[in-house]
Amino acid sequence: MMSVEDVHTYYGPSHVLHGIDLLLEKGDVISVMGRNGAGKTTLMRTIMGLTPARQGTVGFDGRDITRLKPHDIFRLGIRLVPQGRNVFPKLTVEENLRLALVAQKSADPRSELEKAYDRFPILGQRRQQKVKGLSGGERQMLAIARGLLGKTRILLMDEPSEGLAPLIIRELHDTILEIKTEDITIFLAEQNVKMALSVCDRHYILEKGEIRFTGTTEEMSANKDIMIQTLGVSA
């Protein structure tokens, strides 16, 4: 469904991603893991067109999208749940969702809102509440709900468990598994190794902008050296 081939990305003169190759199959849940500064967020931004690759190709559904603008990539059904949520604190929950629907040009925005509230009932209860009064977990739910409005085909999630309490991380885990049943491809950048291993089908490990490992959950769990050397954790 999506391919990244020999991608090199820079911030000014700084060479951040070095020849990245990866493949996302339809309906898969794929993780990219690595320590801080490994290049996970840059990879997400490159796919979304926010920090375009200087070299290489990002392909989606048989089409080269490397040079497309972020809003055009969004309209193809590729959505980003950014690190830090990036919701609007002075707007209500519903205003945040309605704002995201502007770009969707949905024929039935009320139906889209109700689907979001059905998925996350707490958002329905808080729909008229200002976002600045929500907990971190509720803000994350709002960010995910926003990314799932309309026809989402690939959901990019950048550090979704960051700063969340263990109970909320468990709820996030269940949400990702639920989304997986809807045939939406999920690409997850995550430092929480336990959660990534429990929800994802395959894994990539980034180190200093290069892929050091590719494999299934079973293959990764069995590779103690790569877990310790690149992630600093034991299997």
User: What is the spatial distance between Cα 59 and Cα 158, in angstroms, rounded to a whole number?
Assistant: 20
Q: Is 130 helix (H, G, I), strand (E, B) or coil?
A: strand
Q: Do 70 and 91 have their domain in common? A: no
Pairing of strands 185-190, 154-158: parallel
Q: Is 211 helix (H, G, I), strand (E, B) or coil?
A: strand
Domain boundary among 108, 133, 151: 151
Domain boundary among 151, 175, 208: 151
* 94 neighbors 128 (Cβ within 8 angstroms): yes
Q: DSSP state, 158? A: E
Residue pLDDT, tens place only, 116-153: 999 999 999 999 999 999 999 999 999 999 999 989 99
**What is the pLDDT at residue 130?**
97
**What is the pLDDT at residue 200?**
95
- For the chain, give the number of residues: 235
Domain boundary among 151, 178, 207: 151
Q: Do 172 and 125 have their domain in common? A: no
Q: Do 10 and 62 have their domain in common? A: yes
Predicted confidence (pLDDT) at residue 47 exceeds the cutoff of 70: yes
Q: Do 180 and 216 have their domain in common? A: yes
The tally of domains found in the chain comes to 2
Q: Do 157 and 208 have their domain in common? A: yes
**What is the pLDDT at residue 188?**
96
Q: Which residue range is the domain that position 229 belongs to?
A: 1-77+153-235
Q: What is the CATH number of the domain that holds 226?
A: 3.40.50.300
- Per-residue pLDDT, averaged over 83-110, amounts to 88
**What is the pLDDT at residue 235?**
52
Q: Do 12 and 47 have their domain in common? A: yes
Predicted confidence (pLDDT) at residue 109 exceeds the cutoff of 90: no
**What is the pLDDT at residue 226?**
82
Q: Do 179 and 205 have their domain in common? A: yes
Q: Which residue has the higher pLDDT, 223 or 12?
A: 12
Q: Which residue has the higher pLDDT, 11 or 85?
A: 11
Residue pLDDT, tens place only, 163-209: 889 999 999 999 999 998 998 999 999 988 989 999 999 999 999 99
Q: Do 235 and 157 have their domain in common? A: yes
Q: Do 71 and 166 have their domain in common? A: yes
Q: Do 67 and 176 have their domain in common? A: yes
**What is the pLDDT at residue 87?**
94
Q: Do 72 and 183 have their domain in common? A: yes
Q: Do 183 and 202 have their domain in common? A: yes
In which band, very low, low, confident or very high, does the pLDDT at 69 lie, cut at 50, 70 and 90? very high
- On the CB side of 175, how many CA atoms lie within 13 Å of its CA? 25
Q: Which residues pair with 2 in a beta bridge?
A: 24, 60
Axis crossing angle, helix 136-147 with helix 93-102, rounded to the nearest 10 = 20
pTM for the whole thing? 0.91
